Amino acid sequence: MLTCFFFFALFLLPVNALFYRRFQDLPVKDFDFIVVGGGTAGNVVANRLSEDPRIRVLVLEAGGSDKDAFNSHVPLYGRRLQGSQFDWNFTTTPQAALNNRPIAYPRGFIIGGSSSINLMVYTRGPSEDWDRMARVTGDSGWNWDNIQSFIRKNERFVPPADHHNTTGQFTPSVHGFHGVNSVSLSGWRYSSDPRVLEAMKESGGEFRFNEDMNSGFHLGFGWTQTTVGHGTRSSSSTSYLGPQYINRKNLFVLLNTRVLRVKQTHTSSKTLVVRGVEFTQNSGKTTHTLQATKELILSAGSIGTPTILMHSGIGDPNELTPLNIKTLHALPSVGKNLTDHPLLVTNYNANTTDTTDDILRNATFAAPFERTWNETRTGPLSSTQGRILGWFRFNLSESVFEGVDDPAAGPNSAHYEVIIGNGAGNPPPTGHFLALTMAVVSPTSASPSRVNSSNPLAPPLINPNILGTTFDFTAMREAFFATQRFISAPSFNGYITAPAFNVTDATLDDFIRNNTGVIWHPVKTAAMSARGADHGVVDPDLKVKGLEGLRIVDASVLPFIPTAHTQAPTYIIAERAAALIKEEYGLN
C-alpha cells in the first residue's frame, strides 16, 4: 500500500526545473542539450534553448548559488569577490615583462560565472571589431549590422538608480529596452564629474566627449554603461536564470558539479561524435557520465573550456602525449593564443572627501550607505567606481608603431582605454583619490594556456604574456603619458594635489613592470576561424572543427581580443549561437 502510494506520488510529482545541488536529486537524466558551465554565455544558451518546451536542457556548473552572495549584488562591492569563495583563484605564470611577477587571475566560481564577479562595465566595442571578425571567419552573420538583433535580445536599458536626467549621456536609438540583461548609467554622482568633463573641453580635442561609446563608434570619453539594474548587479544568473525562466519545466541547473572531460559517444561514419560528459561532485572520488541526445555545449570560459578539451584528448598531441593524455582528436590551436588587456592603475591625491575611499576601507563609515542600499538599492553602493571611461588612438606617426602594423581593427578603433574612478580601487589606509586606470586594448602579445598535469582537477598554466612585445610595452608607456596630459588640465587645479605614486623618467619603465596587471579579458583559446582554415578550434557556427555533437559558446571563441570589456561581446556571441542552434534543430 505504502509502496504503491509512494510510486504514484513520485509519478505525479511535476518534473520541476530548478537549481539542484546533488546529481541523485535530478528527477530526469535524459537531456537534449547539456551546457557545461553556467556562466555568462552558458546561461544565455540554456535560457534560449529552453524556450521550446519540447526539449530538455541541463546546465552543469562548478560553483554554487549566488543567492546569498551579498558582494555580488552590491555594485560598489564588486572587487571584494576577487579571491573570495566565488573565485577560481587562478594565478598566471611569472610574467617576464612584469619583473617576473605572477598575476592573480580571477574567474567566477558561482552561477553566472564571471558575470557574477566582474566589474559590470558594458561595452560592445567598435563596429570595426565585428566587421573584422566577419571578414576573417568568412561569416557575415558576425558583422556589426547583423549582430544588432542579438544586442537587442540581450540588452534591457533601464533608468539609473537615482533616476537622474540622462539626456545627452547616452543615445537611446542605439539601445535595446526589451532584452533580458539590465544595463544602466551610474546612479550616483561625485564631485570630480564636472572637472573631468571640463578637462575634456580643455584638451584641445585630444580627449573629446562621445555621447555613446556603444553606438559602433567608440572613440572618446563617455559615461560608463554598466550591467546594473535598479541599483543591483545584473548577471547572467539574475537575468537569464531569473524567476520567470528557472521555473520552466524543461530547464535544469546542477550546481557544485565539476566537469572533468567530454567523451566520445559513438562513431557515426568517419566523424567522431562527442556528446558525453564526465563530472564529479566530490573532487573526483566518484564520477558520473551523461550524454546529450542532440548537442553538448562547452561554455566553461576562456580558461575552463580549453582545459576540459585538453583533458579530453582534444588539443595539440605534442602537449598531450608527454602528460600521458591520449589524443582523441588533434586540434593544435586549443589553448593557444591566450590574449588579455594589460592594465595599469595610477592614483592621484584629490582635495576632497567625496570619493568611495572611506566607504571601501571603513565599515563604520559605510554602514549608513549600506543600510540605504539594503532598504532602497540607491546611494553610492548602487554604482560602480569607473563612471567615465574612454577609448583613444595613438597618432600613426608616433614611435609606438615603429616596425609594426597598426593592430587595431580599423581607423576608428582604439589602442588604449582610460577609466576614471572617483576613489582608489583598493584604497590605502588614508587619503582620497582620483584613479586613472589605463589599458592597452589592441595588444599584440599572445601565449598559450596549457594543462600541466593529467589530473583534470589541477589548475592549468595561464600565461597571457603581458607586455610581452615592444608594441605593448611602448603603448602602455604612451598611455601613461596621455593620462598625465589629461590630469594636468587647468580644471584639476586645486583638486588634484599630487600623484600618489613615485616615478621619474629614469624609473618609469620599472614602475610599469612593477605595477601593470591585467583586466581579466582572456579570449582566443578556442578561436573561431574560417571553415577549412589551418588553425582555429571552431567554425563560424561554433562547432568544434572535425567533430560532431560539440559546440563552444563562450569568450574563448573570439578570434581577436575585442577593443572592449568582454562581457557584452560574450553575451552577443551566446545569443547568436543559441539562434544558430535553434535554427539547425527547428526549435521555437
Distance CA 188, CA 105 (A): 29
Residue 58 counted as an annotated binding residue: no
Stretch that binds ligand FAD, among 209-217, 429-437, 506-514, 561-569 (CB under 6 A): 561-569
Q: To the nearest 5 percent, what fractions of the chain are helix, strand and coil?
A: 30, 25, 45
Q: Which is nearer to ligand FAD, 203 or 235 (CB)?
A: 235
Q: Does residue 87 bind ligand NAG (CB under 6 A)?
A: yes
Q: Which is nearer to ligand FAD, 111 or 199 (CB)?
A: 111
Which residue, 387 or 565, has its beta carbon nearer to ligand FAD? 565
* 418 annotated as a binding-site residue: no
CA distances from 573 to 46, 134, 155, 568 (A): 14, 12, 13, 9
Angle at CA 418, nearest 5°, toward 41 and 215? Answer: 55
Q: How many CA atoms lie within 13 A of 65 on its CB side?
A: 7
CA angle 74, 77, 79 (to 5 degrees): 135
Q: CA-to-CA distance for 484 and 119, rounded, in angstroms?
A: 25
Binding mask 535-564 for ligand NAG (x = CB under 6 A): x-----------------------------
311 is an active site residue? no
Consult the annotation and say whether 520 binds a ligand: yes
Nearer to ligand NAG, 16 or 452 (CB): 452
Q: Return the CA Rg of the chain.
A: 24
Q: Candidates 34-42, 122-130, 255-263, 494-502: pick the segment binding ligand NAG (CB under 6 A).
A: 494-502
Q: Report the C-alpha gap between 9 and 464 in whole angstroms.
A: 55
CA separation for the pair 260, 364 (Å, rounded):
44
Q: Does 24 help bind ligand NAG (rule: CB under 6 A)?
A: no
Q: Does 120 bind ligand FAD (CB under 6 A)?
A: yes
Q: What is the DSSP code (8-state) at residue 224? A: P
Q: Looking at 218, 311, 329, 565, which residue is catalytic? A: 565
Cβ density class 233-256: b for 16+ within 10 Å, e for less: bbbbbbbbbbeebbebebbbbbbb
Check if 565 is active-site.
yes
Question: Rule CB under 6 A: is residue 89 a binding residue for ligand NAG?
Answer: yes
> Would you say 49 is a known binding-site residue?
no
Residue 534, C-alpha cell as written in the block = 589551418
Q: Which of 12-20, 188-196, 291-299, 496-504 is the region at the interface with ligand NAG (rule: CB under 6 A)?
A: 496-504
Residues 464-483: x where in contact with ligand FAD by CB under 6 A, - otherwise, as a string: --------------------
- Using CB under 6 A as the binding rule, whether residue 7 contacts ligand NAG is answered as no
Which residues are bridge partners to 253 per DSSP? 19, 59
Task: Determine if 318 is a binding residue for ligand NAG (CB under 6 A).
Answer: no
Distance CA 398, CA 388 (A): 26
Distance CA 588, CA 579 (A): 10
Is 274 flagged in the annotation as binding? no
Residue 484 contacts which entry, ligand NAG, ligand FAD, none (Cβ below 5-8 A, type-dependent): none
Among 154, 265, 281, 299, binds ligand FAD (CB under 6 A): 299
Distance of alpha carbon 195 from alpha carbon 207, whole angstroms: 13
Nearer to ligand NAG (CB atom), residue 291 or residue 437? 437
Residue number with CB closer to ligand FAD (71 or 171): 71
Please report whether residue 520 would count as binding ligand FAD according to CB under 6 A: yes
259 is in an annotated binding site: yes
CA distance 575 to 147: 9
118 is an annotated ligand-binding site residue: yes
Least distance (Å) between residue 444 CB and ligand NAG: 10
310 binds ligand FAD (CB under 6 A): no
Q: Which stretch binds ligand NAG (CB under 6 A): 35-43, 87-95, 261-269, 471-479?
A: 87-95
Site for ligand NAG in 144-173 (CB under 6 A): 165, 167
Of 346, 342, 384, which Cα lies nearest the Cα of 483? 346
User: Among ligand FAD, ligand NAG, none, what does residue 397 contact (CB within 5–8 Å per kind)?
Assistant: ligand NAG
* Residue 425 binds to ligand FAD (criterion: CB under 6 A): no
Considering only residues 290, 461, 466, 542, which one is a binding residue for ligand NAG as defined by CB under 6 A? 461
Is residue 560 a contact partner of residue 128, using CB atoms and an 8 Å limit? Answer: no
One residue of 19, 20, 77, 88 binding ligand NAG per CB under 6 A: 88
Looking only at residues 231 through 260 of this chain, which bind ligand FAD when binding is defined by CB under 6 A?
Answer: 257-259
Check: CB of residue 580 under 8 Å from CB of residue 572.
Answer: no
At 461 the three-state DSSP class reads: strand
DSSP codes joined into one string, 491-544: GGTTTEEEESS---TTTHHHHHHHH-EE----B-TT-B--TT-SS-SB-TT-BB
Please report whether residue 344 would count as binding ligand FAD according to CB under 6 A.
no
At residue 496, φ and ψ (nearest 5 deg) are -90, 120
Instruction: Establish if 100 lies at the interface with ligand NAG (CB under 6 A).
Output: no
Selection from 176, 260, 224 nearest residue 422 by Cα: 224
Catalytic residue set: 521, 565
- Residues in contact with ligand NAG by the rule CB under 6 A: 70, 83-85, 87-89, 93, 109, 165, 167, 332-333, 336-337, 351, 362, 364-365, 367, 370-371, 374, 395, 397, 452-453, 461, 494, 497, 500, 502, 507, 510-511, 514, 535
- Residues in contact with ligand FAD by the rule CB under 6 A: 36-42, 60-63, 82, 106-109, 113-115, 117-121, 257-259, 299-302, 304, 308, 520-521, 554-555, 565-568, 570
Q: Which residues line the annotated binding site for FAD?
A: 118-121, 259, 520-521
